[in-house]
A = this chain, B = another copy of it.
């Protein structure tokens, strides 16, 4: 396919209560690399196999949660084209000047129906993945922590999941891969949906909740089930709690661990899942088997997972 529009998740800006323990967590436990700080004290980090300058921004704040989730689009013309379509769809578009975020071009910012701040941008400085572009090895030598290759996706909670889904499908060209419905068939109401802008099983997911702009988790991609085990070893050596996992989702088939950063923002490490194509049928999970969809190993709900958010 000629790639157009939104390419991929670009970065997440997360609020944390204290910056240094957060940096320590995302570097030493998760295994990201710090690539810069700005004069507002924001810290920029990336996973090893990402070429762009960062995929996570940590912002010290009074409360944890997601400041915004940004997607990289093909080019500036595409971004400007989206700005028009978004406005036409009825959302207010704010322009963030180039340089407002470190090494990043102009961004457009808007609030989707579930209350989340979503951004699009076309330009971010490329710093490379630590490997040469000629005759490269398969990985750098100095990997640490859980060795994530990329920031993979976020799952967020809000009231109007149907609205955000329609926005991402109709305006941004995302595709729904899976959905959770109250029941099968025509009377079913949407509880959750998983959307992709690529061949991944999801790049963003929404779950219905009683509030807006709630953040559920940020997920980092690992390269094997053995790396999931390694991640569990790392968490356990620090006696950090694991909310779920090593486990597996029915939804996306991904293998997973859920844990938390020091501010209570939920983290996931994730491996696997199918390849999504536009002609794949949408998979449906009914509310009564959401336990199987979310916690395929064990198949019972975990209370904190259904309630805790930032």
Contacts and interface: CB of A to CB of B under 8 A. Distances in A.
Interface of A: 1-8, 49, 51, 72, 74, 126, 128, 133-139, 141, 149-150, 173, 175, 184, 197-200, 223-226, 229, 232-233, 235-237, 239, 241-242, 245-248, 250, 253, 255, 272, 274-275, 277-286, 289, 292-293, 296-300
A247 B274 CA distance: 23
Contacts of A300: 241
A181 B3 CA distance: 26
Contact of A236 (B74, B137, B284): B137
Given A3-B1, A225-B229, A239-B292, A275 B200 contact: yes
Nearest to A199: B199
Contacts of A250: 135-138
A297 B1 contact: no
Nearest to A296: B236
A235 B278 CA distance: 31
Nearest to A240: B299
A134 B241 contact: no
Contact of A226 (B197, B224, B282, B297): B224
A37 B225 CA distance: 38
Contacts of A245: 297
A53 B150 CA distance: 34
A285 B135 CA distance: 5
A197 B198 CA distance: 11
A72 B274 CA distance: 18
Contact of A141 (B4, B6, B237): B237
Contacts of A286: 134-135
Given A1-B6, A199-B199, A242-B298, 12 more contacts: A1-B198, A3-B277, A74-B278, A126-B279, A135-B289, A135-B292, A138-B250, A200-B275, A225-B225, A232-B247, A236-B298, A246-B247
A3 B175 contact: yes
Given A200-B199, A274-B49, A242 B136 contact: no
A162 to B, nearest CB: 19
A241 B298 contact: yes
A235 to B, nearest CB: 8
